[in-house]
Amino acid sequence: MQANDKPTWIWYPGDFEIWLGNIFNNRRTERGAMFPPFWKQDSHYVTVEFSKVFTLDRAETITVAAEGQFNFALDGKLQFPAKEYTIPTGKHKLNVKVWNQATPPALFVNGKTIKTDSTWLATYEDKLWIDENGVAHGSGIYVPAASWNFDAIDTPPSQFRLERKEQRPVSTTIPDGFPAGVLYDFGRETFGYLKVSGLKGTVRVYYGESREEALDRDHCETLDVLSGSAGDVLSGSADSVLSGCSGSGFTVAGSKAFRFVYIEKEDGASYDEVLMDYEYAPFDTQRSGSFRCSDDEINRIWDVAAYTMDLTTREFFMDGIKRDRWTWSGDAIQSYLMNYYLRFDAECVKRTIRQLRGKDPVTAHVNTIMDYTFYWFKSIHDYFEYTGDVAFVREMWPRMVTLMDYVEGRLNGQGMAEGQPDDWIFVDWVDFPMHKRGTLAFEQILLMKAMETMALCAELVGDGGGTAGGSGCRHGMATNAKKYGVRAAALREKIRGTFWSDERKAFFHAVEDGTLNRQITKFPNMFAILYGLAGEEERRDIMQGVMLNPDIPAITTPYMRFYELETLLLDGRHGQVLQEIRDYWGGMLREGATSFWEKYNPEESGAEHLAMYGRPYGKSLCHAWGASPIYLIGKYYLGVRPTKPGYEEFEVRPNLGDLEWITGDVPTPNGLIHVEMSRHEIKVRATAGRGTLYYDDQQLRIEPGRVAILQI
């Protein structure tokens, strides 16, 4: 660290994310009642020791702050409590123990050269002792401390908040048949905190992603009851305790998703004004993805998909902003990929991966869903591909190993993943009969990819020396890489031998009670293509016999449409996919969507589009997996993807589909890659990295800062 670098708050890796995730995941409510997640929630370590060795040319005074109570030891000798300490010339070891039951123990040290950063070590095991010479010894397990952008002494991690911006409703009406209330329309789906000024008496507040929901007082899924008198802090339901004055109004505590708010006054009640604080994760528009093309409808779809992603990108990547408001691994892996083509918020990716994994010991699958565990491994593979961040892989490696140990401990006698009584086998929300019991081909393909990820990451950690360093670690990682590579290859052969049909040219669905279920669905077949299980001839057979076969049950959720459309694009069907985007996502826009939904069925109409889970307004009208056009357009129309980790090298394979022209930017760790394409010419400019532009049988090198132009 250079002397002019800023210090940062540090903590035990993953603890901040686990603590913040517990707050995040427990914000969900249903009609005012809190609704916690149904999986295990871990806690942070309450005592953490931080340590680092420094060599000073001259004495230095440091300022020490902690979230929690702390003691400070210099070369093994405890120092009298103070805010500042003077460290003499020479080589010294600093040890700081922090205890905090409420929030993660965190440390901030600032001096001329001594500053807290990620090079400090941290341990939760108190095995330190001091010998008669005052020398500290210990056998605790130390790991690099975690840090983020908390780089001021007065902004500790526990004070992290998203940003807010005040907004006004775009219209105010008294609906027919509702004489006691007022309906406020904020113009589009939004997320934040309601603000009510000058309230006297009691009002009932009904929130709605749709007008119908806000006006349905009996079935509206989010509501508040507010009471107060002039100058008072308002009282409300458990989810609605007010946070106090904001200007001349009061802000309702507890963020909500809504477009419409219906406020009904009891006798004698009155108030002055209704506003909201829009809550959002900030991003840099100069370093964000963009897209425009010759089709205004596709442009509108891209814009709404981007807005959907921004609404669901918060402290973590969440699924839906009304329901569930939780982190789900299967949802998150798609959000990560969309994010790489929109905002490239690597910190939010890391926070979500850490939060989903939690702590050891492993007692259940991630979110209790077996396929979501497998996606969790794949998400680390994707993260490294797009960022090149080996340090994060090294941080997560021990938890990857213990999670894979759990997975392998539950395999059946054939070495395949099979749902146990305490597992949830998800695959997809489906409208057609699909058994989810036994040994599913789909699950084995995901497990194969997880094992391949383990082999890759073992090589990465080994090449970097691992957390402990040294040739022994590299040898151990090489052994792990070989072990997981062999297991992945063996599983690959088992999948092919068990589920592939030479007659049907497709992978069958499952083995149930020792009998092959010969049902054919798109799920295992498209993942066989996406994850490289199918060879070239098999890929062609699957495309014709399964993916393009109208007799195979259709996929109806945006969740699996993400993978289905990517499979079609890998087959070069860019024109077809554009039309499907127009039909599916454009269909939502024609129904009045201002963000994309959890699910869309074109055969439904009116209020049918709002219902799900047996509830008239159970569907989320802003759901992260609805934003997949961001990823599909960036990767397969602008055509940009890394070929070496972190975009050290990349390729651009633009495709117009049925469009006349396209232009856009893809964010990378080092800047933007700008692509323009018409029927006659392609232009590419990259801030950093070296790439290759491909079109038919032509190719052209892309050098940093120079425009590559290809006539076509």
**Predicted pLDDT of residue 32:** 84
Are the C-beta atoms of 114 and 87 separated by less than 8 Å?
yes
Q: Where are the beta strands (DSSP E) in 210-340?
A: 222-228, 242-246, 249-252, 256-265, 273-280, 290-293
Q: How much is the pTM?
A: 0.93
The pLDDT, as a whole number, for residue 132 is 39
pLDDT of residue 141: 64
Q: Which residues pair with 507 in a beta bridge?
A: 500
Instruction: Read off the tokens for 356.
Output: 């989903």
Q: Which residue has the tokens 């979501």?
A: 372
> Tens digits of per-residue pLDDT, 305-332?
999 999 999 999 999 999 999 999 999 9
C-beta contacts of 527-531 below 8 A and 24+ residues apart: 527/442, 527/445, 527/446, 527/563, 528/445, 529/567, 529/570, 530/563, 530/566, 530/567, 530/570, 531/445, 531/446, 531/448, 531/449
Q: Residue 465 has what pLDDT?
A: 39
Identify the segments of the chain with pLDDT beneath 50.
1-4, 128-137, 139, 230-248, 463-474
Query: Token digits for 13?
Result: 């890796």
Please, are residues 357 and 396 in contact by the beta-carbon 8 Å criterion? yes
Closest CA to 568 of 586, 591, 587, 542: 542
- CA dist 356 and 350 (Å) reads 10
Question: Per residue in 76-90, pLDDT tens?
Answer: 999 999 999 999 999
pLDDT score of 125 = 82
Q: How many CA atoms lie within 13 A of 160 on its CB side?
A: 23
**Which of 345, 341, 380 is CA-nearest to residue 566?**
341
How far apart, in whole angstroms, are the C-alpha atoms of residue 43 and residue 15? 7
Tokens of 51: 């340590």
* Tokens 């083995």 -> residue: 511
Strand partners for 517: 510
Q: Can you give the pLDDT at residue 434?
A: 78
User: What pLDDT does residue 686 have?
Assistant: 97
Q: What is the pLDDT of residue 476?
A: 58
CA distance 471 to 215: 67
Q: How many CA atoms lie within 13 A of 483 on its CB side?
A: 13
Residues 667 and 289: their CA atoms lie apart, in Å, by 5
pLDDT for 147: 76
Which pLDDT value is given to residue 148? Answer: 76
- Degrees, nearest 5: CA angle 139-141-142: 110
CB 31 within 8 A of CB 206: no
What whole-number distance in Å separates Cα of residue 537 and Cα of residue 503? 14
The three-class DSSP label of residue 394 is helix
Task: Kindly tell me the sign of the dihedral angle through the C-alpha atoms of 416, 422, 427, 431.
Answer: positive
pLDDT of residue 467: 41
pLDDT at 233: 38
pLDDT of res. 127 = 60
Which amino acid is located at 564 in the chain? Answer: E
Element of type H or E holding 70: strand 69-74
Other C-beta atoms lying within 10 Å of the C-beta of residue 1: 13
Tell how far CA 674 is from the center of its chain.
Answer: 25
Q: What pLDDT is stored for residue 134 in this prediction? A: 39
